[in-house]
Structure formats: C-alpha cells, structure tokens
Amino acid sequence: MAAEVGRRRTFAIISHPDAGKTTLTEKLLLYGGAIREAGAVKARRAARHATSDWMELEKQRGISVTSSVMQFTYDDCAVNILDTPGHQDFSEDTYRTLSAADCAVMLIDAAKGVEPQTEKLFRVCQLRKIPVFTFVNKMDRVGRDPLDLMDEIESHLGMRATPMAWPLFEGATFRGVYDRTDKSVHLFQAEKHGTTAIQASGGRYDDQVVQGLLSDGARERFEEELELIEVAGDPYDQQRVLSGDLSPMFFGSALTNFGVELFLKRFLKLAPLPGDYQTVAGDPQPAGSDIFSGFVFKIQANMDRAHRDRIAFLRICSGRFSKGMEVWHPRNTKKIRLANPSSFMARERSVIDEAFAGDIIGLYDSGLFRIGDTISTQKGLAYAGIPHFSPESFRRIRVGEPLKRKQLAKGLQQLAEEGAIQLFSDHFTGVEDIVGAVGTLQFDVLLHRLEGEYNVKALTSPEPYSVCRWVVGKPGSPAFDHKTFKRGQGSLMARDRDGHPVVLFSNEWSARWAENNNEGYELRPVSPVVAHAGDL
C-alpha cells in the first residue's frame, strides 16, 4: 500500500486565460508517453485539437470550459493531471477541482506576470494549504526580467520563489536554461510545430560549446544573476514548499516543447505524495490506511453522447479501490456496489481493476451521486461537502416548444448536478426556472449543451440580480420564516436545489442592508455544506 501510494502524484494546473495552460497539459502528456502527437490548441485549421479540450464548444472557441482528468505513468510515477478552465466564468469548476489536488502548478506568462485570475486561483490554493509550483511560460518570446517576475510573485502573492532553473539570454534572445540541480545547461531548440517531443541538448555550463553561444556580456549578466539568487535568494526547503510558503520556479516554452521534460522530471521528484484528508469528525484519514474512502468532486454528463451516460469523478483519499467492491454511501445511508470504474485521458476512458489513494477514477452514475458525496468501506466516515459559490449573473429560462418542457427540466437538472450552472426556484411559485452562473459565458455553454445533448432550443431572459446570499439561521434562532425576513426592494426570495432559502439582490448594498436588518440570520456567499454523516 505504501509503495503504491508513494507512486501517486495528483496536481492541478492553474493560470489566467491564454497563459498556455492547456498547451502545457498537452505537452506533459506528450513527454509522459500518453499521446504520440500533440494537437494545436488554438490553430483553427488544425485537424486535431488539444486532448484535454474534448467538448465541441471547446474545439470551436479554443478555450477550456470544463475540467479534464488525464492519467499516465512516467519514471514509475502514476500521474493524475487535472486541467482546469482558465476563464473566470468557469472558476467554480476550478475551485471544486482544486479540492481533489495535492498541489498545483501555477502557469505564468513571461510577458504578463501574475494576472488577476491567477491570483484568485492562488488564493484558493492558499486556503486549501496546498503547495504551488511555478512554471514561467513563453520564454521564447519577448518577456519581462526573470528577477522582476520573482519579485512580483512575492509582492502580489506573498510567497517566495526559489528558481530550480535559470534562463540564459543573449541580449533579448532566449538561449536556454541552467539546471541548478545538476549544474547543466539545456540549450533552447524549438520543435517547429510543437507536435513531437524533442531531446534536450547541451552540457555543463563551462563546456566550450555552451560558452561559445554567449557573448562576454551575456555570460557576465547570467553569472551576476546566478550569484544574486545563490546569495540573496531562498534555498530549496521541502517543508516551506509543502506549507505553501515557497514555490519552486521553472522556465520554458510549452508551445515549442522546450523545458517541459526538465520540469516534469524535477516536479515529480519534488511534488507531495497523497496526504491525509480531514473527516467531518475532525480526524485525519491517512492515505495509506486499509480503509477505502473518497469523495466526488465533479460530475460530467454525456461524455459519450452515444450512450447518454453520466460519470462521477472520485478522488480516492485512502486505501485501495478494487472493481466491484461494496461501499457505504452516507447521504443515502446504504451500501452500493462500484462496477465499471474507469481511468481517463480527457474524454477517452478505460476500465480499471484497482486504484489507490491519490488516483482519480470515474464511476458510472445513474443519478445516485452528487458533488461532495463521500463513499467508504467504513460506515460513518465522511468528508465535508463542497459548497456552491455565489453566482453573479441570473436568467430565467424557458423553452419555445411546450412539448420539450420535460427535456428542458431533465437537461437543467443534470447540468445543475454536475455544477455547470446553479438552479433556483422562485420561493413563491416553486418553479425551477432561474439559472445562476458566475459569468455570462456559462449561459452560452448551457444553451449549446441543451441543444446538442438534449435536443432543446431554450430561450433566456436576463434578471436584474448580481448578488446571491444563502440565509442561515444563527444558533438559537427560530426556523426561517420568509414572512418576517426583511429583504428590501428589488430583491427576490428563492430556494436552491437543496431547499435552502436564498435571496437574490441587485447589488451588494442591498445584501448588507438585509443582513443588518435581520438579527437572527447570516447571509452567506457560499451554500451550506451538508456532511451527510449524521444519520449513520
């Protein structure tokens, strides 16, 4: 058990849109031997698309709109990559996915540095106390000074960076990277189309071939910078990395494949093994325990349109999974049998017989699972659920053809269950026709998927709300009563899919007014989390 758990590396890649996150994911798969040829992520005329971007809308727009899971073996490590959407409109999917990762790779554009969405996602990693590794991308283009990027990481994120490699330049021309671990130089070379792996070339820094590529001025600049980070920089400290205080830093160009293999080799040696997860009871559940346990962090409907299936993605937290095993499902207070488990390469899947703590597996879901559900061989063991975050855009949704109402309801229910949208009902009518999203691009995805997967052409109309707050009674307060709750003008009383009372406000001021005028209640920007263990 210890040996198998020790082989697992499970991480998410986070970045601002267009920093090259999906490209880096693709190239890690290429060097990991999981694919033979990388697809052109953004080339519209390319016959192939990124492996992780499997949805039709992703292929059309050249962006990621849903998280993907990819698995491969490299240097005897079983690697689980969680590729997350970079666009802020899909940030809730990223938040959920980060709950299943042991660490994160923060991708930074060499020319743009730390961007707003990168910082937001970093804060989530900080809250979860997971280590963050940094990969500075697009080094083959004109970019900012590497020392400035190090300083910005500290000033913007409050985290120090320790370079594991350092770039070499001849003027503004990128020449390669110096590996501080074995003191070798990897000379920059580009695979023209970035579709096949390249073998790193170079040698030691004092080799004549390497020295001959740099002018006296370039060598002097590089040696001064190297001395500066050796003397004034932070030495590598595993404990500081694991605590999130220090980030190992790498440089490369994912598009041309340069620096990817060096990063992969070093990262897998430094990345943390699967750690303990806190249970609802407050006890840590060791990854190497004989007790099998895990939680559902994502549900995806219609990955295989031919079968109209639904897959629940499970992060294994402890123990060994075996095909056909029986486990407790706390929310339903009964035992279930886990048949047809799968491992993933984005949309592609293969049936597996076993898996261990740290792995991500897919379970066929007939509607049994919900995001945040725990399953375990030990009755009563449960992890805290995953909350919903406050949407910022709202629309009413309806269907033009009355005969398609049932199909619309089914589509909305399934897409809400997988977290693609949030669905609310008007408190007074009880009709579930209010759709909430973090950003408006989610509505485009919703309409596209309703038409493509459920054969429903839906119509939406905007609602004048931008703030959602869940109403939670304070200890000792009476049960919620909508008749006595003061919510002010321009607001709407609603309920979420779990029946929790929600108020939709037109602005933050209205939400603060309601909170100040209802002493017995809290107004929260995240949904209440149900532990699902109390009845056991």
pLDDT in tens, 49-84: 444 444 454 444 444 434 567 888 999 999 999 876
Q: What is the pLDDT of residues 278-304, one digit of tens each?
A: 998 888 999 999 999 999 998 887 655
Structurally, the chain folds into a number of domains equal to 3
Q: Is residue 71 one of the residues assigned to a domain?
A: no
For residues 449 and 509, state if they share a domain: yes
Q: What is the CATH number of the domain that holds 492?
A: 3.30.70.3280
- Return the pLDDT at 530: 53
* Residue 49 pLDDT: 44
Q: Is 232 exposed, middle or buried (0-12, 13-18, 19+ CB in 10 A)?
A: exposed
Quote the mean pLDDT of the chain. 84
Confidence of residue 479 (pLDDT cuts 50, 70, 90): confident
CATH of the domain at 126: 3.40.50.300
Domain for residue 214, yes or no?
Answer: yes
Averaged pLDDT, 314-320: 96
The reply to whether 224 and 137 lie within a common domain is: yes
Identify the domain boundary among 237, 270, 303: 270
Domain containing residue 306: 277-376
Question: Does the pLDDT value for residue 534 go beyond 50?
Answer: no
445: confidence class by pLDDT, cuts 50, 70, 90? confident
- What does the chain come to in residues? 536
Q: Is the pLDDT of residue 536 over 50?
A: no
Label residue 75 left, alpha or beta by phi (over 0 means left) and psi (-120 to 50 means alpha).
left
Asked if residue 289 and residue 211 are part of one domain, the reply reads no
Shared-domain flag, residues 236 and 147: yes
pLDDT at position 310, please?
Answer: 81
214 and 325 co-located in one domain: no
Task: Give the predicted TM-score (pTM) of the model.
Answer: 0.82
Q: Is 380 left (phi over 0), alpha (psi -120 to 50) or beta?
A: left
pLDDT at 351: 81
> What CA–CA distance (Å, rounded) separates 488 from 514?
7
> Residue 479 falls within a domain, yes or no?
yes
Give the helix ranges, DSSP H, for 139-275.
146-157, 208-212, 216-231, 238-242, 260-270
- Write the DSSP symbol of residue 457: -
Model pLDDT, residue 61: 47
Answer whether residue 85 shows pLDDT above 70: no
Q: What is the pLDDT of residue 348?
A: 64
Q: Do the domain assignments include residue 473?
A: yes
Q: How confident is the model at residue 257 (pLDDT cuts 50, 70, 90)?
A: confident
Could you tell me how many helices (H) and strands (E) the chain has, helices first? Answer: 13, 31
Same domain, 114 and 220: yes
**42 pLDDT exceeds 50?**
no
> What does the alpha-carbon distance between residue 380 and residue 328 come to, in Å, rounded to a whole number?
8
pLDDT digits (tens, 9 = 90+) for 207-245: 776 777 778 888 899 999 999 999 999 999 999 999 999
Residues 221 and 283 reside in one and the same domain: no
Q: Is it the case that residue 305 has pLDDT exceeding 70?
A: no
pLDDT band at 386, cuts 50/70/90?
Answer: confident
* pLDDT score of 337 more than 50: yes
Residues 315 and 407 in one domain: no
pLDDT confidence tier of residue 7, bands split at 50, 70 and 90: very high
Query: Among residues of the chain, what percentage have pLDDT more than 70?
Result: 86
pLDDT confidence band for 533 (50 / 70 / 90): very low
Position 497 in a domain: yes
Which residues, including other chains, have CB under 8 Å from residue 482's CB and lie 6 or more apart? Answer: 427, 493, 501
Q: What is the three-state SS of 93-144?
A: HHHHHHCCCCEEEEEEECCCECCHHHHHHHHHHHHHCCCEEEEEECCCCCCC
| Among 35-39, 251-255, 529-533, the least confident range | 529-533
Tokens of 151: 């300083």
Asked if 288 and 243 sit in the same domain, the reply is no
Greater confidence (190 vs 187) lies with 187
Q: Are residues 262 and 316 in the same domain?
A: no
Residues 6 or more apart in contact with residue 306 via CB below 8 angstroms: none
User: Does a structural domain hold residue 208?
Assistant: yes
What is the pLDDT, as a whole number, of residue 268?
Answer: 96
**Same domain? 256 vs 298:** no
Cβ atoms 21, 86 nearer than 8 A: yes
Query: Residue 505: its pLDDT value, please?
Result: 96
Q: Counting Cβ atoms within 10 Å, is residue 480 exposed (0-12), middle (13-18) or buried (19+)?
A: middle
* For range 463-480, the mean pLDDT: 89
Query: Each residue of 397-419: pLDDT tens digit?
Result: 999 888 899 999 998 988 888 77
Structure tokens at 337: 């049998």
Q: How confident is the model at residue 252 (pLDDT cuts 50, 70, 90)?
A: very high
The span from the CA of 68 to the CA of 87, in Å, is 14
**Interval 18-34: pLDDT, tens:** 888 888 888 888 888 87
Domain contains 74: no
Among 323, 342, 376, the domain-final residue is: 376
- The answer to whether residue 281 is domain-embedded is yes
Strand partners, 334: 329
Q: Among 133-142, 184-193, 423-432, 493-502, whose mean pLDDT is lowest? A: 184-193
Q: Render 409-422 in DSSP notation, one character per residue.
A: HHHHHHHHHTTSSE
Lowest mean pLDDT among 90-104, 148-162, 450-464: 90-104
Do 354 and 455 lie in one domain? The reply is: no
User: At 258, is the secondary structure helix, strand, or coil?
Assistant: strand
Looking at residue 68, its pLDDT comes to 67
Confidence (pLDDT) at 201: 67
Q: Which of 109-113, 120-124, 274-278 has the lowest mean pLDDT?
A: 120-124
Mean pLDDT on 107-135: 90
